[in-house]
Each structure stands twice: as structure tokens, then as C-alpha cells.
Amino acid sequence: MFKRFFGQEIDINTVPIGLDEFYRWCEEVLALTRLPHNDSMRFALASIVLESKEILTREHAAQRLVKAAQNQLAAFVFNDIKAKRMAEDALKETEKDATVVNADKQSGVAPDGGSQASASEMVPAA
């Protein structure tokens, strides 16, 4: 049975009304995707329903759920690459600092810019 809601023709038999129907609807939506059938996906579907201004068909809900999963994966990859680059930059900076300190030790320059005194120079004269 089709009815017109807000300019959309909707099969009213696909719109979940009770809790049992909502869980069944979630399973039907998830069956259209390769996503897992778990509470996390049902939570995401409930969020999609709450954010939607129109009545969702199974197909549209499945598309939005898959897009949300794609966005989450892309954000993870983005942050993973960013973290790796930051770690590489920190390692390069540490290596650069170690090279400068080693060069200063070999040239006799103290890290503060002064000259390093040898052990014999530090002993007071008697």
C-alpha cells in the first residue's frame, strides 16, 4: 500500500512503527549492505532515522549507512597517515638534534654555545 507523505510515495508497509518492526527493518536494511548485523549498525541506523527529514526507504537508509561507514573509514585512514607523518617528523627532529650534539662534542663546543673544559682543566691548581 502506497501513500504520499511530504511529496514522497512511500510503501507504508516498509516504515517501522514498533520496536520489533524497527529491529526487523534494521535487519532488512543491513541485508542490503556488506556491513555487520550488530548493535553498532543498529545504533547508526537509529541516528540516521533521527537526522532524516523524510521517511526513509530501506534502500535509502542502506545507502546512507554505507556512506557513513565509508566516511568513518576515510577519517581513520586520514588520521592514521597524519599520525605516521608526525611520528616520522619527530624522529627526524630527534636524529637532527642528536647529530648536532655529537658534532658539538667532537668540536669541543658545549650545548650552551660555550667551550667544553677537559677534566684536567676542571681541577683547581694547588
Helical pair 58-107 and 19-31, crossing angle rounded to 10 deg: 70
- The answer to whether position 38 is within a domain reads yes
- The answer to whether position 43 is within a domain reads yes
pLDDT over 80 at 78, yes or no: yes
- Count of domains observed in the chain: 1
Domain containing residue 49: 2-82
- The answer to whether position 26 is within a domain reads yes
Record the cell numbers describing residue 49, joined without a space. Answer: 532515522
- The answer to whether position 9 is within a domain reads yes
- The answer to whether position 114 is within a domain reads no
Q: How confident is the model at residue 74 (pLDDT cuts 50, 70, 90)?
A: very high
**Confidence (pLDDT) at 99:** 77
CA atoms within 13 Å, Cβ hemisphere of 100:
10
Mean pLDDT in the chain?
81
- The answer to whether position 91 is within a domain reads no
